[in-house]
Chain A
Amino acid sequence: MFSSPLETLLTISLFIISVATLGLVYRVIKGPSVPDRVMALDSIGINLIAITAIMSIMLNTDAFLEVILLIGVIAFIGTVAFSKFLQKGEIIEYDRDN
C-alpha cells in the first residue's frame, strides 16, 4: 500500500492529527462557553500547521513553508484578539485624548 516506511509514518500521523482536529471541531461546535471554543480554534490552528507540514513533506515541496508561518502568526493574533475581546469587550482601544 505504501511505497516507503516514511510515507506510512506520515500517513499515520496525518490520520492521528486529523482525528484530533475533528475532536477539536466537536469542541468548537459544542463548547459550552466561548473560551472553550477559542481554545479549540487556537489548537485547530496549530493542528493545521502540522497538517500543512506533513502535507508538504508528502508532496515533496517547500512551497508551503510560508503557509505554516502564516498560520502560526494568524492563530496567535486571532487568539490574542479574542482574549482581549472577552476580557474588555474591545480589541483596539482608543486613546482618550483624541
Chain B
Amino acid sequence: MPYNDDTRFVPRDREWHPPAYAPGYKTSVARSPRQALVSLVAPTRSELAGPDFTRLRLGPHDNDLLLNFREDPALGGAAGLPIGERILLFGRVVDQFGKPVPQTLVEMWQANAGGRYRHQKDRYLAPLDPNFGGVGRCLTDADGWYRFRTIKPGPYPWPNDVNSWRPAHIHVSVMGPSISTRLITQMYFEGDPLIPLCPIVNTLRDPEAVATMTGRLDMARSRSMDCLAYRFDLVVRGAVQTYFENQG
C-alpha cells in the first residue's frame, strides 16, 4: 500500500505484546528501557511510510531451504538434501481488518533439524547439516499468501535457567506497508510440549497471544509421500483512513 497522508494505523496493544522488561527472560533485564515510551499521538510521514521490496531481485530458491544451501559450491546440483522433517510453511499476511497484505517481504531463519544454527556464534554440540543454511525470504502474492519449503527445526538448549530449551521455532519477519507495521516474531509448532516452559514464550501474558504464534498442521496442504505442511498466518496492524482531521 503506498503511503497516504490520511492513513493511520491501529495503535499497538502493548499489553498484548511482550513487555520490554520480562525478568524470566534474563537478557531482557539489562536491555529494557526504564523510561516510558514517548507516544506520537499524531504519527508523521516518517512513521506512516515504509519500503516496498517489489524490485528486490529474489533468487529462484530464496524461499526453498531444501535447495538454497550447499556448503561446498563445487558440489553444485549433485549435493544432497538436508536431513530432517520436510515441511511446507505457508500462510497469509493480513491486517487487523482481515485485508490481505500483497507484495510484502516475509523473511525467516531457523536452526537445522538438530537445533544448530549456521551462525559463527552457535557452538552447540549438535552438528551442522552440510546441505542446510536456514534462511529464506519471499514476497507475498497478490492475495497476501507466502510459502517456504524447509525442514522442521529442532529444539535447542540455551543459557537462561540451568536447563532451558527453546521449543522448535522459526523466526519470521514481516514488513507490511509501513515501518509502523514492521514485526518480527517466532512461529512455534502446534502441540510442542516445550512451548509452555519457554521463558521467551512466557514474556507474553495472554495465552491467546501465544496462540497467534503457533503454526497449525494442515494435512490438506501436505503432500503425500513428500512433506507435511504448517499454516502460519500473520496479522499486521490495520490501516484506517482518517476523516475530518484538522477540520476542528
Q: Are A and B physically bound partners?
A: no
Residues of B participating in the A interface, judged by any CB pair closer than 8 Å: none
Residues of A participating in the B interface, judged by any CB pair closer than 8 Å: none
